[in-house]
Structures are given as structure tokens and as C-alpha cells.
Amino acid sequence: MDPESPRTKPQVLRRRTLARTRIFHVEAIDLRFPNGVEVRYERLRGSAHGAVLVVPLLDADTVLLIREYAAGVDRYELALPKGRIEAGETPEAAAGREIMEEVGYGARRLEVLHRLTTAPGYMSHDTHVVLAYDLYPYRLPGDEPEPPEVVPWHLSRLDELLAHPECTEARSIAALFLTREYLKP
């Protein structure tokens, strides 16, 4: 089948909020598909402006990962720094701020490489992957309960990182592969 073929989207009949907490907004959405089938889905609304996942490049083969406690899985995770885009920020500005807060570096050059979704079936979240080059030491205070550990890793040793039990996050893994492809001579 032709993946470019247009396909009529289902019609949204009704949306309503099911639950709202400090972080999460759960919504019910009633849909009617073109074939007449009606279904109710539930989904999470993401933050209004999306998020950034930053690939801080200390040099052409060295990325700076962070190791911090991840409450969802109740263990430490080794991943790329990330954070929300605030109102009025560009993805590049958010990425620059996040690495100052989490990694202790600023970047003279920032470049949006790709856009990723987290779970498009039930989350609206949109994440911009931003490359950060020409780094210089600069720290802004962050809101982490303990300072994240910064772990330099060579892209040429990506296979060893993938075998590390603390490196599991799909967005970071996708972004590291995308970066390696992009920087490939």
C-alpha cells in the first residue's frame, strides 16, 4: 500500500477531561471512523509547547549523558538531558537553557535535528531533538533534588551504551542513532 495515500481521519465527536493532577491531564475522546465505527479513546495531553531532548556534543565523538533518578522506573537512568519548552521559548533556547541547568555547559550553536513522539496512540507529547555544539562551561541552577551526574560517552562506543542496563529510554536511543547517522563523515 502507498504510505502517502490520503486516508480520512476519524471525526472527533466529543472531548472531555477525565482527570487532572499537577503533572497529568487525562482526556476522553469520542471518535467516529469513516466506516461508521464509534470508539472512545483516552489520551494524555502533553505540555503546551512540547519538550526538548538535547544531544550535547563535547566534540564530534563525545556526547554528555546524564545519570539521574527516574521515578517512573524507580532506578537511575543514563540518558540525554531533556526538559519542557517554556512559553515564548524556541526549541533551541529551551535546549540551551536545559544543558546549562543539567549538564553545566552552554552551547554556542544549537540545531534542531528531528522531532519524536513518545507514544502517539495515547500521548500528544512532541519532543524536538536538538544538537548542541561548541560547548563552554556555564551553570544555571536547576530544579533537580540532587545534582545529575554528567557521563561523557563516545558515539563510536554506542553499542556498549546500548548494552548498559541503565540506558533504556527510547527517545535517547533514537536520538543517539540519529545523531550518529547525521554526523557520519
**Count of all residues that appear for the chain in the document:** 185
- Least Å from the CB of residue 117 to a second copy: 4
Stretch of 95-103, 104-112, 132-140, 177-185 lying at the interface with a second copy (CB under 8 A): 177-185
Stretch of 33-41, 86-94, 99-107, 133-141 lying at the interface with a second copy (CB under 8 A): 33-41
| Measured CA angle at 165 (ends 118, 129), to 5 deg | 30
- Cell 564530534 locates to 60
If you ran DSSP here, which 8-state letter would residue 99 be given? H
Q: Applying CB under 8 A, does 97 fall inside the site for a second copy? A: no
Query: Are the CB atoms for 79 and 172 separated by under 8 Å?
Result: yes
Residue from 91, 103, 106, 127 in contact with a second copy (CB under 8 A)? 127
Q: Applying CB under 8 A, does 74 fall inside the site for a second copy? A: yes
Cell matching residue 63: 556526547
Site for a second copy in 34-63 (CB under 8 A): 34-35, 37, 39, 41-44
d(CA 160, CA 167) in angstroms, rounded, equals: 10
Q: Which helix or strand (DSSP H or E) is residue 46 part of?
A: none
- Least Å from the CB of residue 60 to a second copy: 19
Give 66 or 110: the residue with its C-beta nearer to a second copy: 66
